[in-house]
Amino acid sequence: MRLLLDLAFTHLAGRARQSFVAILGVGLGVGFSVAMAALMQGSQDDLIANLVDSMPHVRITDETREPPRQPAEAAFGATAFSGLRPRDDDRGIRNPAAVRAALDAWVPGDMAVSLRTQGVVRYSGRDVGAAILGIEPEAEARVSSVAQDFVQGSFSALSAGGNSIVIGDRMAERLGAAMGTTVSVVSSTGLVRRLKIVGLFHTGSTARDEGEAYVLLKNAQILSERPNVINEIRIKLKDPEAARAVAARAEAQTGYKSVSWEEANESLLEAIVIRNAIMYTVVAAILLVAGFGIFNIVSTITHEKARDIAILKSLGFREADMRRLFLMEGIAIGAVGSVAGWALGFGLCLVLAQITFELRGMGSEMSRLPLAWSPWHYAIASGFALLSAGIAGYLPARKAARLNPVDIIRGAS
Amino acid sequence: MSALIEAEHLTRILPAVVPVTLVKDISVTVGAREFVAITGPSGSGKSSLLYLLGLLDRPTSGSLRIAGEDVSALTEDARAALRLSTLGFVFQFHFLLPEFTVRENVEIPMRRLGRLSRRQMRARAGELLESLGLVGHVDKRPDQLSGGQRQRVAVARALANDPPIVLADEPTGSLDSKSSEQVFQILDQLVHAHGKTVLAVTHDIGLADRMDRRLHLVDGRLESDERRVMLSGA
C-alpha cells in the first residue's frame, strides 16, 4: 500500500545515517558474496575443464564390473567352492575390430584404442618403471591431451620410423636421455626392445611426465606377447556432459567396464559439492550479520516511533498494517542494499579480472583469476539478503504491532 | 433519537499483583448530537472510560454497543475498522506525525479507509482545514504551527472520515485560554452545526459547564449524570 510505503520512507529518511549504514552492510555482504561466488564458480569450472581436457571422457578397459565367474561355478549350482584353481584368462578386449565398429556407429566423438602394459625403460644403467601405451598415433592425437603438450617431436613421429618411443621430459631427465637417444624397453614378460626417442612431452603432471611412455600399438603387442590384442578404448566426446550416458550405453553394449570422467573423479566432484556448501554457508553468515544491522535500525525505529504507532492504531490501523510497515522497512533496506551489492560485486569482479600473476615453473605464461559470471550468483546473494532482511524486520515489527496504544497515550499525557 | 453509544455495567480492572479498578460498573447511553463532558478528579477513570468507549481498550466486564453494534465480541481488526470509520480521536497532545505536512496528516485516515480518490481526499482535507481556520498552513509541518493550530489540525484529522462520534481527551489541556476557547468553539460547532456527537474529557469545570451534559466520575464510578437545562433563546 502506498500509504505504508510513504510512512516507511519517512521513518528511514528520519534515520538516514543509520539506514545508510544498514544498506552498506547488506551491500557489502551481497557484493562480496557475488565476487566470492564468481571466483569459486570460476575456479571450479577451470578445474573441471582441466580435468575434462586432460583425460578421456570415457575409458573402456578389459575389465568387468563383476569378477569373471569360473567355469566350475557356472557348471554347478553350488553355493561356494573352495580350493578352486582359477583358469588363466587371456586378458584383453576380444575381437577389437568388431567392438570398435559397433561403438563407432553411434558414439559422438573420437576414439582411440591402445594396449597398456607395464615395463621398464632403461638407459645408461638407469631403470625407470613406466606404463607403456601402445597407440595408433593418428587416433591418439585426436583423443589425448598429451598431443598438445609436446616439447619436442609429436605422436606422428612414431609412425615415421619403426622402432621409436615418446616419453615425458621428467623421465628423460631421470634417464639422462634426450631426443634421438636410443633406450631399452623391458616388458613384464622379459622381452627387450631398443627404441629411439622421437618425442618429449610435458603435461605438468609429474606422474605422467615421469611414468608414461608411448610406442606404436604393434610394438606394445610384441613386447607383451599379445598379438592383435588391445585392452583400452578411450573416447573423447564432443560434449563431455554426455559422458555418463555414453559410458553406460557402451558398457551395456560391450560388456566391458566403461568409466566416465565423472565416475573416475567422483571424490573430486564430491569435494566440489562440499566446497559449494562451505561457500553458501559463508554467504549466509555474511548476510546474517548484515541482518543484525537491519534488526538494529528497525528495532530503533519502532522504539522511537512508538508514539506514531499508537496514533496510527488509534486512528484505525490494524496490527497487520503495523507489521507490514516495519517489515517493509527491513525489506526496503535489504532491497536497496542488494542493488548496491550487485554493483559492488560486479565492480569487484571487474577488478579481480584485471589481476594477473605468474605461475612458477610455467615460464612467462601469465595467468588470470578464473571468474565465472552467472545471474544466479546475484539472485542467490540477494535472495539470502532479502530473507535475512525480512526476518530482521519481522521480529521488531511483530513486537511493535502488538503495542497497546493506550499505554503510550497514557504515558504521554 | 437512536443511541450511538450504549454502555452497560462497564468495568475495567488492570490486572496486577494488586488489581487496580479503573472504571467500575458504568452504564451510560449517549445519543446523536450530544455534547458530553466527562469530568472528575485526577485518577477518577475519565480517560479510561473514554478509551473504553473509543475501542482503544477492552472492558474486563460489561457490554458496549456502538451505533447499534455489539463491539464486545469483535476482533481487533474489526474494532480497528470501526475506529477508522465511526470514531474520531483528539488527544491532549496533538499527536500529529512530524514528518508529514498538515494536509498529509489529515489525509492519512482517508488513505487508510480508501473510499475516496486521491484528488477527493486532497480536496476534503483542504476544506476541513479551511473550515478550521488553517488556510495557508496546509503545506507546513506540525512543528511550524502553534499549539492551538496543531490541535485544530488534530480535530481535522479526527473528522477526516466524517465519523458520527468524536472523542476528545483533554483537548484543551495543553493550550492557553485563547486557543482553548477556539478549540471549544469548534467542538461546539461540530455538535450544533454538523450534528456530531462529541464526548470530551476535561478537568476545566468552566468548559464542562458550557456543554450539554456532564458525566462526573469519582473513583471509577459514575457519580452524577446531569443535563444542562437548555436556555434556548437566552
CB atoms within 10 A of CB A87: 9
| Chain A partners within 8 Å of B99 (Cβ) | 10-11, 13-14
| Chain A partners within 8 Å of B66 (Cβ) | none
Q: CA dist B36 to A220, B153, B172, B192, B198, Å?
A: 115, 22, 15, 12, 6
Provide the chain B residues 164-193 that lie in CB contact (below 8 A) with chain A: 169-170, 173
Q: How far apart are CA A294 and CA A286, in angstroms?
A: 13
| B11, B59 Cβ separation under 8 angstroms | yes
Residue B202, chain A, CB below 8 Å: the answer is no
pTM for the model stands at 0.71
| Chain A partners within 8 Å of B89 (Cβ) | 314-315
Please report where in the chains the cell 486557543 appears, as a residue.
Answer: B179
As a whole number of Å, the end-to-end CA separation of chain B is: 25
Q: CA dist B187 to A250, A365, B181, Å?
A: 94, 88, 10
Q: Residue A325: CA atoms inside 13 Å, Cβ hemisphere, count?
A: 28
Q: Closest residue of A to B81, CA-based?
A: A316
A-interface mutation test, from B83, B96, B115, most A Cβ less than 10 A away: B83
Q: Looking at the complex, report in whole angstroms how far the Cα of residue A323 sits from the nearest Cα belonging to chain B.
A: 13
Residue B157, chain A, CB below 8 Å: the answer is yes
Residue B84, chain A, CB below 8 Å: the answer is yes
CB pairs under 8 A between A and B: 73
Q: Closest residue of A to B157, CA-based?
A: A315
Question: Can you give the pLDDT of all 413 residues of chain A as single tens digits?
Answer: 788 888 888 888 888 888 888 888 889 888 988 898 888 888 888 888 877 877 888 898 888 777 767 777 777 776 777 777 766 666 788 788 888 888 888 888 888 989 999 999 999 889 999 999 999 988 888 888 888 888 888 888 888 877 899 999 999 999 999 898 899 999 888 889 999 999 999 988 888 889 999 999 988 988 888 888 888 899 998 888 888 888 889 888 888 889 998 888 888 888 888 988 988 888 888 878 878 878 888 888 888 888 888 888 888 888 888 888 888 888 888 899 999 999 999 999 999 888 877 665 554 455 778 888 888 889 988 888 888 888 888 888 888 888 888 887 776 54
pLDDT per residue as tens digits for the range A248-277: 898 888 888 899 988 888 888 888 889 889
Three-class DSSP category at A21: helix
